[in-house]
């Protein structure tokens, strides 16, 4: 329940960091949104029961909270909370325990029986072969070649360069330095600026788009934006997301389609692939524009999870 306001600053910090952890691990957008809200409701319950420190949380505390949820009225419709919703609350606490353990904390005691067999969220990380399929799919992602070239350039920026959606949206043509093989990112998170490297192959893809395809868009010469829409205006984030969906469908690969990837998935994937190639964490931190190494270290855990799934 997002509207519940926490007074405890440490609890608020946990909710924010937990959300970032889920996001970096590549969970679905719905998971990244709802699980922190469920954790916030748990912390609110703790505050109402005068528990100010997570070290005070016991198995009894969690069971009493769960009993409270089972009796709580559903605010959207009559009756109580559904079994599926109760399982989501359980998942939020179990993932929070995992979060704590991955940050050198013993965690919290959670011994709850699921209402039914829950569906575990899967990490939506693409393999390098699947990324190659995305690039290949741009050759049939649209009947117009200018859109195809724009789609391919979009993948370069979001995957090969690891940019966030907002960063890609605000790129200008003047931010691409072909001679230096660098891209200047001016609209980073918290407005942090950085340079991101591009190799020769990716630079050629951007050149094809900028010099061959982009001028074909209506009045594109009037805009400084790197990515322009059919109307010649700066392409918005929703268009990026919609084009990615089309590219995914164009692969005709059920495994890729079932992953329900998002724009951020591309960023998660390149970070994981860099780690697989033993690129130093400090370099990945700079590449992604993270403010702290702790955020980047999450990918170490993600890589272990992926490798364990393959065993």
Catalytic residues: 164, 189, 264, 267, 290, 299
Helices (H), 144-236: 145-155, 165-169, 200-208
Tokens 């788009």 correspond to: 209
CB atoms inside a 10 Å sphere around CB 68? 14
Is 116:96 a contact under the CB 8 Å cutoff?
A: no
Tokens 């940019």 correspond to: 163
Measure CA of the first residue to CA of the last residue in the chain; give whole Å. 38
Structure tokens at 77: 């419709």
Q: What angle do CA 223, 228, 231 make, to 5 degrees?
A: 85
Structure tokens at 28: 């679905």
Is 57:46 a contact under the CB 8 Å cutoff?
A: yes
Between strands 194-197 and 182-185, the pairing is: antiparallel
Structure tokens at 296: 């980047």
Please report which helix (H) or strand (E) contains residue 2, including its range: none
Going edge to edge, which strands form the sheet with 194-197?
A: 176-177, 182-185, 194-197
CB atoms inside a 10 Å sphere around CB 291? 12
The widest CA-to-CA distance across the chain, in whole angstroms, is 66
Q: What angle do CA 57, 61, 64 make, to 5 degrees?
A: 165
């Amino acid at each position: 329940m997002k509207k519940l306001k926490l007074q405890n600053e440490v609890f608020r910090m946990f909710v924010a960091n937990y959300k970032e952890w889920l996001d970096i691990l590549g969970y679905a957008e719905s998971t990244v949104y709802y699980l922190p809200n469920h954790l916030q409701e748990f912390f609110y319950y703790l505050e109402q029961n005068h528990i100010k420190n997570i070290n005070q949380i016991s198995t009894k505390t969690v069971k009493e909270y769960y009993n409270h949820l089972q009796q709580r009225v559903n605010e959207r419709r009559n009756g109580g909370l559904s079994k599926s919703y109760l399982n989501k609350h359980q998942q939020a606490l179990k993932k929070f325990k995992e979060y704590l353990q991955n940050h050198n904390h013993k965690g919290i005691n959670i011994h709850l029986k699921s209402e039914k067999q829950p569906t575990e969220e899967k990490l939506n990380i693409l393999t390098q072969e699947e990324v190659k399929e995305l690039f290949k799919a741009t050759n049939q992602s649209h009947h117009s070649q200018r859109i195809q070239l724009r789609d391919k350039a979009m993948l370069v920026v979001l995957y090969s360069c690891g940019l966030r959606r907002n960063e890609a949206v605000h790129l200008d043509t003047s931010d691409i330095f072909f001679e230096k093989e660098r891209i200047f990112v001016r609209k980073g998170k918290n407005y942090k600026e950085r340079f991101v490297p591009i190799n020769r192959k990716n630079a050629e893809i951007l050149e094809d788009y900028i010099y061959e395809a982009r001028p074909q868009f209506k009045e594109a010469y009037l805009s400084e934006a790197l990515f322009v829409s059919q109307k010649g205006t700066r392409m918005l984030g929703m268009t990026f997301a919609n084009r990615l969906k089309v590219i995914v469908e164009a692969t005709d690969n059920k495994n890729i389609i079932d992953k329900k990837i998002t724009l951020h998935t591309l960023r998660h994937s390149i970070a994981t692939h860099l780690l697989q190639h033993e690129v130093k964490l400090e370099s990945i931190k700079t590449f992604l524009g993270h403010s702290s190494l702790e955020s980047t270290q999450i990918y170490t855990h993600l890589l272990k999870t992926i490798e364990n799934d393959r065993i």
